[in-house]
Amino acid sequence: MPDADGNMRLVRTILISHIADLPEQQTIACVGTKSSPITKARFHQLGIATRQELRTGAFTLEQIRLLREQVDARNISSYVTKARSIGMNAVHKPYWRNWEFADPCKFLSPDILHQLHKFFWDHPMDWAKKLVGEAEIDRRYKALQKHVGRAYFRKGFTAFKQHTCRESRELQASFIAVIAGAVSPGVMRALRGVMDFIYLAQFEVQSTKTLGLLQDALSRFHANKHDIANEGGCDDGWHIPKLELMHNVASLIAQSGSAPQYTAERIERCHIIMSKIPYRATNHKNYEEQMCRYLDRQEKLHLFDMNVRKNGHRKMLVN
């Protein structure tokens, strides 16, 4: 890059954040599907109330070195088997290995879309369905007063096969009010704790106080989660990787800034605009060229519209 004097200099960037969902984070951190990408927690330690030791990049690289001393990486089947036995995924040359200051336990940022919104749908909402009943929870959501700007689930939502992030947000907004009176006080405290955590983690601006409240909300959930299990809401145990990742949210926010700037929502939206919609506009044959032509035309139309609006605004100012 050119400096202030015009001299070309070699610049090495620092990896601040790699935005990825949980499976991608586990691949990047070289761990298996039943291990945490941030800490050394493995299956039986997922979901416990205490945070485990960080899985540093140096620790992972040392594990890979020891593994390669024991098994030849070219012998794929043996290497994969041995790697899985120690909680790794057999990746032996991670892209960040020679990147100065790059450490997965620091650059794998919290992802609001997958770690919070999808977690809510897959777990707290599932627990509520079991405790309250799908028919009853549907009835309660349908009984909510309509509000402008808020989604109204006229036919309920439990029959949905797919849902969007916006629908998940709308369900979260009234979740605690909907289940009130239908669950025990202990269950309510646990679910209130996890919902407080989800909302506090989305603050655009964080402080020492808000991060303290974030940790307190998670502690309240862990202190009362046994009530959910005792009443039959969660019968699969607490071995949930996304629940373990919550222990790291406060420290990662303190290190890299508020979580909303690292959410995958914008990337997923670009995937719809730049890929899915252009594909639907093709005849599904040799679609790559058609998609590029579609995007090019959309850009030209957008630029033309901007120019027309700009010139129209100038004429108004002159008149």
Q: What is the pTM of this model?
A: 0.82
Structure confidence by residue, pLDDT tens digits, 245-257: 999 999 999 999 9
Structure confidence by residue, pLDDT tens digits, 29-85: 999 988 999 999 998 898 899 999 999 999 999 999 999 999 988 888 999 999 998
Apex 7 CA angle, 5 and 8, nearest 5: 145
Mean pLDDT of 254-268: 87
Two structure tokens written together for 81 = 């088997």
Query: What share of the chain has pLDDT > 70, as a percent?
Result: 97
Q: What is the predicted pLDDT for the residue at 267?
A: 80
Structure confidence by residue, pLDDT tens digits, 29-42: 999 988 999 999 99
Q: Minimal CA–CA distance to 17: which of 119, 102, 77, 139?
A: 102
Structure confidence by residue, pLDDT tens digits, 113-159: 889 999 999 999 999 999 999 899 989 888 888 887 777 787 778 77
At residue 31, the 3 state secondary structure works out as strand
Two structure tokens written together for 261 = 């700037």
Torsion of CA 189, 195, 200, 202, to 10 degrees: 170
Two structure tokens written together for 288 = 């790559």
DSSP string computed for 187-250 = HHHHHHHHHHHHHHTT-SS--HHHHHHHHHHHHHHHHHHHHHHHTTS--S-S--HHHHHGGGHH
